[in-house]
Chain A
Amino acid sequence: MKSNSVDWRFLQGSLIFLLIAVIAAAALIYFGMLYEEQRAADYRQQESQLRSTHRKYEQLVRDLGLMKQYTAKFNDYKASGLVGEERRLSWIESLEAVNSRLRLPRLGYNLMPQEDFLRPGFKPPRFVSVRSSPMQVTMELLHEGDLFSLIGGLEQEISNLFTVDSCQLRLKGQVGKLFDTRKPNLAGECVIRWVSIDVSTK
């Protein structure tokens, strides 16, 4: 009686070969993937390190460029006293020096404690602190041009930054009378704000 059933013994060799091939192929693919992934991870890590080093290098190059650009100015500001400790004596000396030329009948000043420099919308960068010291200046003037001369003289005398917060001029005599060239005709009062910059190195 002829049988149609499958003769597994006939196919045994081929099936075992197939099984081994499946296992071997799977193993080859798995280890291939593992190896490739490992190398790819090494590559990515190295690439990241290179990028980081390159970024640092670029930053440094940029820094050096900026340093070249800004160091001179920064040192000038530092030397003039704009940056660092405020130089109150220099301001008073400057005021006196200007008045020695202008010869105003009276020039009084009152330098008040230092405070933050506040202006709407003005925000200094991080670690930079802008401070200011208001100086109340009272004066007697022959005419209003003396006020301009005083402010202009200060600008020339000292390279520190200052801004005028307010100025008040009051006629001393009667309206319509001619100015007396030997007496003060105007009383003035101004608030000058000396600006200085503190740098926090922390």
Chain B
Amino acid sequence: MKRILYFTGYRMVAQEWDGRKLVSSVYFEPDELGLDLFSAYLESLRRQPVRLLVDLIEEEFRQITIPLLRGADRKEIVERNLIRYFRNTEYRHALSQGVVKEKGRKEEKLLLMGLTNPQLLEPWLQLIEKQQVPVSGIISLPLLSESVVQRFKAEQRCVILVSQQVPSNLRQSVFLDGKLILSRLVPIASFYQGDYARDVVRDVESTQRYLVSQRIVDRADVIGVQVLTNKRHLDRLRAEVEGDNDFEYRIHEINQVLSDEKIEVPEEQDFSSALFCHEATRGLYVNHYAQKAEKKYFHHHLASLAARFVAVALLAIGLGYFGSALIKGWMYGNSIEEMSLLQQKYASKYKQLSLTRAGSDVSTEMMQNVVKTVEKLQRGYQQRPQEMMILISQQISLYDRMRVKEYEWFLAPSSDAVSASEVSWDTPKRKRRSRRDRNAPKPRKGLFEIAVFKGELLDFDGNYRYALSAVADLEDAMRVSGWYDEVQVLKRPLDVESEKQISGEVGVGKRREQGKAEFTIRVVRKVKTDEK
């Protein structure tokens, strides 16, 4: 619901509009009773915002041009001109009407307007302020009529809109290129009695003469005249303007206009006020004259609305969040219930299965460990002497004069063990290596099969060169076979190494003494276990 206070200079009309429908219209006379009633009416509004539409004789218009400026400079010039032309009133307004180029210089056209007798409004505005009614704007009816005249789509550059809002005054507003340049309210006495049509035409002609005298239009220019009138004067006016070539008259019956605009009014209208009042309801923030102080409560109203909006939004967010938390909680609850059932199911199955393994004093893990340990032992720790013995036998059998007389096979944790008697499984003893040992392969740790075999050559005739060669051949064959990691000759038939001593007797007629061609060979093979 939008509320319009329409002030004609004498009485105040309060209208309530619901969209395009005029719901109510109340008149308040400017006497004590009227003001009291107006005060009561305002109180009943309960701080709902209103717009004040003024239609006063004491409203003046000036069209001026100022240098094209911006910001504070422009504001200062505009303010200075407003003070210059409307010194005695606070209700003044400047409207930019575009930029013109004069003598190569850009200038801004301004329409200055003001209410020259603000005292007329004061008693009403005091009541409005007293009742803390938010006034969104004080609107000038002539300026508002700019949008009305645009809807008539007149072809002429200069258009005069003639309308009557009260019986005693005729409003003529002049528009040049669609912009209001002046408006005047002239008294007219013939609305109810007299030749109204002739008076209207005479006043229009008078306005034309003024426009020509001010060089706003040329005498030859055809001026468009849009007349808003009632049914009573329609025919007379049409007859009066017929054949007039100086003007292009278009007479509009006000009720027809309201009907075309789909504006609903409770009864047939004699005046145009309903059209302008409806026009005043349009737009969000229309204001021409209201000062900061007059709009204080409107700003308060907006702040209050904003506060309420924020409050409602916060409540909605809070409720939304709480609702969402409740839903999530409910969903969690459902999931908890489902999980609880599932847990019970598992627990029951667990209990049932537990019974099947009851009675076993050894855990499954232990059984698994034992079985795996046994498998590991079977795989890698069941050593036998046969394999290595066979390998050595195969290689020795290639030398038909070679015989083994002692064979020792043993396991050792280090590759440098020489006999089974010195093997210790606890902590392998670190042997000091002799100079000779230093030439031997570096000892390694792990599990090793070691075989030490002693042998000799049969029918040895003292040919040590042959004996040494045979043992060296066997050593090479063993190395080349790749069956062993180490092959070491511990004793040769004759120790020809530089660090050994050789003794014998060689004389005339004396043959070299026949000894034995003995040898000792040690072979080492790493046992493959699956341990890393």
A28 to chain B, nearest CB (A): 3
Q: Is A39 an interface residue when CB atoms closer than 8 A count as contact?
A: yes
Q: Is A100 an interface residue when CB atoms closer than 8 A count as contact?
A: no
User: 20 more A-B contacts (CB under 8 A) besides A50-B339, A166-B410?
Assistant: A11-B304, A14-B307, A14-B311, A20-B311, A21-B312, A28-B319, A32-B322, A50-B346, A63-B365, A70-B371, A71-B360, A82-B374, A121-B446, A121-B531, A122-B531, A128-B369, A130-B373, A166-B420, A175-B403, A201-B361
Q: Is A167 an interface residue when CB atoms closer than 8 A count as contact?
A: yes
Q: Is B372 an interface residue when CB atoms closer than 8 A count as contact?
A: yes
| Contact in complex: B370, A199 (CB < 8 Å) | yes
Contact of B408 among A119, A124, A168 (CB under 8 A): A168
- The number of residues on chain B lying at the interface, defined by a beta carbon within 8 Å of a beta carbon of chain A, is 96
Interface residues of B in 409-460 (CB under 8 A from A): 409-411, 413, 420, 423, 425-426, 428, 445-447, 455-456, 458-459
Separation of A62 and B305 alpha carbons in the complex (Å): 69
What residues of chain A lie closer than 8 Å to B376, measured between beta carbons? 122
Do A197 and B342 contact each other (CB < 8 Å), given the known contacts A67-B360, A175-B405?
no
Separation of A120 and B417 alpha carbons in the complex (Å): 14
A179 to chain B, nearest CB (A): 12
Q: Is A93 an interface residue when CB atoms closer than 8 A count as contact?
A: no
Interface of B is mostly: helix
Q: Is A6 an interface residue when CB atoms closer than 8 A count as contact?
A: yes
Contact of B324 among A7, A32, A117 (CB under 8 A): A32
**Can you give 24 contacting A-B residue pairs, CB < 8 Å?**
A2-B291, A2-B294, A7-B296, A11-B303, A14-B304, A17-B308, A22-B314, A25-B318, A35-B329, A36-B329, A36-B332, A57-B347, A66-B364, A67-B367, A74-B371, A119-B381, A120-B413, A120-B446, A121-B529, A122-B529, A127-B369, A170-B405, A170-B406, A175-B403
Separation of A166 and B424 alpha carbons in the complex (Å): 12
Separation of A143 and B278 alpha carbons in the complex (Å): 136
Separation of A10 and B365 alpha carbons in the complex (Å): 82
B364 to chain A, nearest CB (A): 4
| Contact in complex: B367, A66 (CB < 8 Å) | yes
Contact of B386 among A22, A53, A148 (CB under 8 A): A148
Q: Which of these binds chain A: B24-32, B188-196, B262-270, B350-358?
A: B350-358
Contact of B447 among A15, A57, A121, A164 (CB under 8 A): A121
What residues of chain B lie closer than 8 Å to A191, measured between beta carbons? 420
Q: Is A102 an interface residue when CB atoms closer than 8 A count as contact?
A: no
Separation of A46 and B344 alpha carbons in the complex (Å): 11
Q: Is A85 an interface residue when CB atoms closer than 8 A count as contact?
A: no
What string of 1s and 0s marks CB contacts (under 8 Å) between A22-42 and chain B?
101111110111011011101
| Contact in complex: B389, A144 (CB < 8 Å) | yes
Separation of A54 and B326 alpha carbons in the complex (Å): 29
Q: Is B206 an interface residue when CB atoms closer than 8 A count as contact?
A: no
Interface residues of A in 140-172 (CB under 8 A from B): 144, 147-148, 151, 161-171
| Contact in complex: B303, A14 (CB < 8 Å) | yes
Q: Is B37 an interface residue when CB atoms closer than 8 A count as contact?
A: no
Do A197 and B374 contact each other (CB < 8 Å), given the known contacts A60-B350, A63-B364?
yes
Q: Is A64 an interface residue when CB atoms closer than 8 A count as contact?
A: yes
What residues of chain B lie closer than 8 Å to A17, measured between beta carbons? 307-308, 311
Separation of A74 and B367 alpha carbons in the complex (Å): 6
What residues of chain A lie closer than 8 Å to B291, measured between beta carbons? 2
A17 to chain B, nearest CB (A): 5
| Contact in complex: B318, A46 (CB < 8 Å) | no
Separation of A29 and B456 alpha carbons in the complex (Å): 102
Separation of A69 and B371 alpha carbons in the complex (Å): 10
| Contact in complex: B357, A199 (CB < 8 Å) | no
What string of 1s and 0s marks CB contacts (under 8 Å) between B272-304 and chain A?
000000000000000000011110110010011
What residues of chain B lie closer than 8 Å to A4, measured between beta carbons? 292-293, 296
A184 to chain B, nearest CB (A): 15
Separation of A171 and B326 alpha carbons in the complex (Å): 96
Separation of A117 and B426 alpha carbons in the complex (Å): 10
| Contact in complex: A49, B321 (CB < 8 Å) | no
B415 to chain A, nearest CB (A): 11
